[in-house]
């Protein structure tokens, strides 16, 4: 496991089995990206991704420090037959397949929160051979929901045990960085936008990733909860403010990315095309393209 320190992290922090990259050591990693990363921002963990790639990782698992893995914590195989949704359903609330509770993932369009017709019934799922590029494991306890849920309800949740579900092309659901596995072919999609807010960056990443996965004949899959989250203290109103761009731009992001993606382009090329389109729409800032290009340079160098 790799942990990337920030300015507030003690320089001598250590834990058995963990490689710790302190703030003062990060420039010595030799990655071009380090010059473009702000301090005290979630995106600094990208240095950990790059370090894992350099060590030869075939799968990179993303998690947070407030997730406690259950015994036997693991992800399904990336290739195999899985229950799969119908195609072209647009945004769906995947939590409805794993819980009867009125709950939705962070990044789900607010105008669909009460839309019962957006549920994907079990009866419409079918087994299909899939190449999954990203697995999102759910989290019991305090799962990944938005500040509106926490300010108005905030009930804990324990998800039902059920088989994994893979989303077909054209069917979208936000995914986060809290219990998430990326296969090697999808490593460029680990990029966390640096000009997005703390509560939007991983959701933006996930929305951009899905049309690019489809073009690469890869899919997004969800598993039942394999961790329990004991959430660190949060100011819900600050979270709400940080999520405002998420509420405003989830639909545009998905639509603009899908329009920008080309079937014959590589994952990295499509990622650049997507963020160029998002920059033109004002969803990310001009600095985003510079940091993305540095990331893609580092990833390409490590792939050789």
Query: Is 40 inside any structural domain?
Result: no
Residue pair 4/19 in contact (Cβ under 8 Å)? The answer is: no
Number of domains in the chain: 1
Confidence (pTM): 0.94
pLDDT the model gives residue 162: 95
In the structure encoding, which two tokens stand for residue 102, read together?
Answer: 């009125």
* Cα distance between residue 85 and residue 60, in whole Å: 25
State residue 84's pLDDT score. Answer: 97
Residue 10 belongs to some domain of the structure: no
- The verdict on residue 119 lying in a domain is yes
Residue 291 lies in a domain: yes
Contact between 302 and 33 (Cβ < 8 Å): no
Give residue 21's pLDDT: 86
User: Residue 136 falls within a domain, yes or no?
Assistant: yes
Residue 253 class from Cβ within 10 Å (0-12 exposed, 13-18 middle, 19+ buried)?
buried
Q: What are phi and psi of 222, to 5 degrees?
A: -120, 140
Res 303: pLDDT: 87
Residue 35 within any structural domain of the chain: no
Q: What is the DSSP letter of 196?
A: S
DSSP string computed for 74-102: ----SEEEEEEPPSS-EE--THHHH-SSS
Block means of pLDDT (10 residues each) for the chain, length 304 residues?
76 81 87 93 94 95 89 96 95 94 96 75 84 97 95 95 96 96 98 96 98 98 95 90 96 97 97 98 97 98 88
Domain for residue 8, yes or no?
no
For residue 271, the enclosing domain spans 64-303
Give the model's pLDDT for residue 265.
Answer: 97
Is residue 27 in some structural domain? no
């Amino acid at each position: 496991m790799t942990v990337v320190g920030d300015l507030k992290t003690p320089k001598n922090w250590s834990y058995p089995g963990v490689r710790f990259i302190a703030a003062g050591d990060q420039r010595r990693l030799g990655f071009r990206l380090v010059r473009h990363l702000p301090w005290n921002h979630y995106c600094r963990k990208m240095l950990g991704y790059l370090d894992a790639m350099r060590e030869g990782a075939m799968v990179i698992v993303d998690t947070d420090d407030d997730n406690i893995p259950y015994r036997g914590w693991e992800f399904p195989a990336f290739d195999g037959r899985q229950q799969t949704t119908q195609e072209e359903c647009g945004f769906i609330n995947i939590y409805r397949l794993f819980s009867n509770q009125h709950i939705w993932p962070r990044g789900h369009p607010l105008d669909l929160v009460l839309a019962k017709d957006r549920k994907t019934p079990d009866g419409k799922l079918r087994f299909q051979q899939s190449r999954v590029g990203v697995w999102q494991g759910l989290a019991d306890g305090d799962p990944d929901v938005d500040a509106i849920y926490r300010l108005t309800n905030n009930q804990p949740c324990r998800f039902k045990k059920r088989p994994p579900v893979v989303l077909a092309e054209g069917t979208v659901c936000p995914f986060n960085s809290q219990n998430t596995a990326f296969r090697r072919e999808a490593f460029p999609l680990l990029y966390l936008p640096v000009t997005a807010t703390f509560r939007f960056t991983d959701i933006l990443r996930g929305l951009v990733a899905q049309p690019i996965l489809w073009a690469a004949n890869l899919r997004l899959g969800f598993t039942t909860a394999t961790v329990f989250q004991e959430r660190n203290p949060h100011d819900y109103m600050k979270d709400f403010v940080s999520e405002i761009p998420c509420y405003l731009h989830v639909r545009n992001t998905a639509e603009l990315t899908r329009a920008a993606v080309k079937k014959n382009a590589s994952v990295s090329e499509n990622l650049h095309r997507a963020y160029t389109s998002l920059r033109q729409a004002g969803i990310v800032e001009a600095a985003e393209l510079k940091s993305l290009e540095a990331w893609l340079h580092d990833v390409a160098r490590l792939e050789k």
